[in-house]
Amino acid sequence: MSGVAEDKRSWIKSVLGVELAGGSQGDAPQAKGPAQGGTDDGEDAPNARLPGFLGTIQDGVTSGVKAIGEVASTVSHAVGIDQVAYALGASASSGMAKDSDKDVLAALKGLADGIADLKKAGFDTKQLEARHKELSDYEVAATKFDTDDKRFKAFDKIKKQAGEALDQSKELLKQLKAVMGESKDPPTDEQKAAVYKKSIEDLYKISIEVAPGMTNTHFDKMFDMFASVPKDHVKQDSLKKLLYSKTGGGLYYSSSGKIEMGDFGAADGEEDYEIGGKTVKANSHDVTALHEVGHAVDQEHGLMSSNKDKAGCGGWKDENASSVTTTFVAHLKTNGGFSETVTQEMLTNAVNAALTSGDTTQPDGFPDDDWQKIIGFLVDKCLRQRPGQSPWFKDAIVVGDRGYTQSSTKQWYSYLASSRTSTLVNKYQWRSPPEWFAEVYAITWLKKKKPPSAVDSSVAKYMWQEGS
Ligand SMILES: [Zn+2]
């Protein structure tokens, strides 16, 4: 959609006699009606080569129509915008822009400048550009919020996030100087990796250890992932170390605040998640990195230990072999249709053997007909949840209104089956309460999508939300 509403465009043309650049075919990121609060588009234009910034310039013009007094100083490379800005400045009446608007735009401009510097130095700035565009879009949305309170809260968020992103760009430039010294050559891949490694260590106070012979570290991608969440999710007491090893996947050690990243090869593998009922592909390295950060956030704030029983957090309950057996036997007694020969003790022994040792041998004295009625249940509900079967990669095992899983040989859980529907992002989420949080956390930040609406606000506030 256009950055400038069509009626505004024709108004500008009729009153000021200038044609505004960027018609309805323009590439501004989202629909932007007339701004309520007005913004100052300042001197943003020199960074117009950044895709996200183009949107902001167009937005600035939209807003500039309201913030007439603020536009006179505009310096723009976009011809149509120059003309409008000049014309508007010439007919300035009153400045309607809020002070915070200027601060927000200054923050966004500072970030754009930082990105431009990094780009010049040969860095891949995709992540920061996306961040800039995201914040710029949110700034536009915020100018339309219906109360000052909402607007100012949004502005505060943008300033904070833009400031953090700017710090990231500054950190990289600082480490580039440190690594390159007096050299005028462009940095090699090894030098860039060293810059990212030092930047992670310095900015987030995380020590990095690389196992001998491990080369697929992808420090750049890790830096980008850390940079895509609020800084205090990464720079915190429960995240102090990053170990690269030759094993696969990722791990988080709560006792030492350590993330272990395995060998992700070229880091181009993908896995499936669900967002809003649709399957989306997530880069395995990136989503794993964020998943492990999610564990650290959970650990630091005790999120799942205090909220796991809520329906919006999975409705988890600690179980053990005995409690699961009791529930399953009660279910079988009600629904199994067994003959009177089958006693509670026989059912208990059969279920317990299947759950704890994977044994489904028909016991002496258990009638054949009755055994045929229970064997399917034992295989489907008991054997399949044993950790050796990796139940966390498979469909739910539901008995009554709850799902059951053994997350390890010692750890048993059940969860609300209805929550698996309403808060689902993938199967692995249903391994345990910490995995539930880490998976929802990771995919919301990676894809910049809100968590499922059923996710409880006590934990959703740590996940991606608009403007975060
Ligand atoms: Zn995990």
Least confident of 18-32, 148-162, 199-213, 320-334: 18-32
Q: How far is the CA of 376 from the centre of ligand 1 (A)?
A: 31
How, if at all, do strands 258-261 and 278-283 pair? unpaired
* 210-219: Cβ within 8 A, 24+ apart: 210/243, 210/244, 211/243, 211/244, 211/245, 211/246, 213/246, 214/244, 214/245, 214/246, 214/263, 216/263, 216/264, 216/265, 216/266, 216/267, 217/193, 217/244, 217/261, 218/264, 218/267, 218/285, 219/193
Is residue 73 over pLDDT 60?
no
Phi, psi of 15 (to 5 degrees): -80, -40
- Joined together, the tokens standing for residue 77 give 């490379």
What is the reported pLDDT for 11? Answer: 36
Q: How far is the CA of 354 from the centre of ligand 1 (A)?
A: 27
Please state, as a whole number, how many other Cβ atoms lie within 10 Å of the Cβ of residue 394. Answer: 13
Q: How far is the CA of 411 from the centre of ligand 1 (A)?
A: 14
Is residue 291 over pLDDT 90?
yes
- The larger pLDDT score, comparing residue 72 to residue 366, is at 366
Q: How far is the CA of 428 from the centre of ligand 1 (A)?
A: 9
Mean per-residue pLDDT over the chain, rounded: 81
- Joined together, the tokens standing for residue 191 give 């030098």
Please state, as a whole number, how many other Cβ atoms lie within 10 Å of the Cβ of residue 15. Answer: 12
For range 214-237, the mean pLDDT: 96
Contact 123, 179 (CB under 8 A): no
Contact 417, 460 (CB under 8 A): no
Q: How far is the CA of 219 from the centre of ligand 1 (A)?
A: 20
Q: How far is the CA of 179 from the centre of ligand 1 (A)?
A: 34
Q: How far is the CA of 186 from the centre of ligand 1 (A)?
A: 38
What is the reported pLDDT for 121? Answer: 87
Confidence of residue 100 (pLDDT cuts 50, 70, 90): low
What is the reported pLDDT for 466? Answer: 80
Confidence of residue 37 (pLDDT cuts 50, 70, 90): very low
For range 219-240, the mean pLDDT: 97
How, if at all, do strands 398-399 and 402-406 pair? antiparallel
Q: How far is the CA of 435 from the centre of ligand 1 (A)?
A: 5
What is the reported pLDDT for 99? Answer: 53
Contact 431, 405 (CB under 8 A): yes
Q: How far is the CA of 89 from the centre of ligand 1 (A)?
A: 56
Phi, psi of 263 (to 5 degrees): -85, 110
Q: How far is the CA of 157 from the centre of ligand 1 (A)?
A: 29
Task: Say which DSSP state 146 is in.
Answer: S
- What DSSP line would sit under 348-369, residue for residue? HHHHHHHHHH---PPPTT--HH
Q: How far is the CA of 238 from the centre of ligand 1 (A)?
A: 15
For range 233-238, the mean pLDDT: 98
CA atoms within 13 A on the CB side of 285: 20
Distance, CA of 285 to CA of 332 (rounded, Å): 43
Q: How far is the CA of 260 from the centre of ligand 1 (A)?
A: 11
Is residue 53 over pLDDT 80?
no
Q: Which of 147, 1, 7 is nearest to 65 (CA)?
A: 7
Q: Which of 3-17, 35-49, 374-388 has the highest mean pLDDT?
A: 374-388
Confidence of residue 184 (pLDDT cuts 50, 70, 90): confident
Contact 232, 205 (CB under 8 A): no
Q: How far is the CA of 25 from the centre of ligand 1 (A)?
A: 44
Q: How far is the CA of 251 from the centre of ligand 1 (A)?
A: 6
Is residue 29 over pLDDT 50?
no
For range 278-290, the mean pLDDT: 97
Task: Say which DSSP state 68 is in.
Answer: G
What is the reported pLDDT for 16? Answer: 37
Q: How far is the CA of 287 from the centre of ligand 1 (A)?
A: 11
Contact 52, 59 (CB under 8 A): no
Which pTM does this prediction carry? Answer: 0.78
Q: How far is the CA of 215 from the centre of ligand 1 (A)?
A: 23
Host H or E run for residue 108: helix 99-120
Contact 373, 392 (CB under 8 A): no
Is residue 296 over pLDDT 50?
yes
Task: Say which DSSP state 251 is in.
Answer: E
What is the reported pLDDT for 2? Answer: 38
Distance, CA of 35 to CA of 340 (rounded, Å): 75
Reported in sequence order, the residue ranges of 267-357 that DSSP labels E, i.e. its strands, are: 270-275, 278-283, 317-319
Q: How far is the CA of 304 from the centre of ligand 1 (A)?
A: 13
- Joined together, the tokens standing for residue 317 give 């309950």
Least confident of 69-83, 356-370, 394-408: 69-83
Q: How far is the CA of 138 from the centre of ligand 1 (A)?
A: 31
What is the reported pLDDT for 180? Answer: 93
Q: How far is the CA of 296 from the centre of ligand 1 (A)?
A: 10
Confidence of residue 290 (pLDDT cuts 50, 70, 90): very high
What is each CA distance from 32 to 29, 59, 364, 365, in whole angstroms? Answer: 9, 7, 75, 75
Q: Which of 426, 390, 424 is nearest to 407 (CA)?
A: 390
Q: How far is the CA of 273 from the centre of ligand 1 (A)?
A: 15
What is the reported pLDDT for 45? Answer: 25
Crossing angle of helices 148-180 and 99-120, in 10° steps, is 20
Q: How far is the CA of 216 from the centre of ligand 1 (A)?
A: 21
Distance, CA of 118 to CA of 440 (rounded, Å): 32
What is the reported pLDDT for 98? Answer: 53
Q: How far is the CA of 290 from the centre of ligand 1 (A)?
A: 10
**Tens-digit pLDDT profile for residues 126-172:** 999 999 999 999 998 998 888 989 999 999 999 999 999 999 999 99
For range 263-283, the mean pLDDT: 95
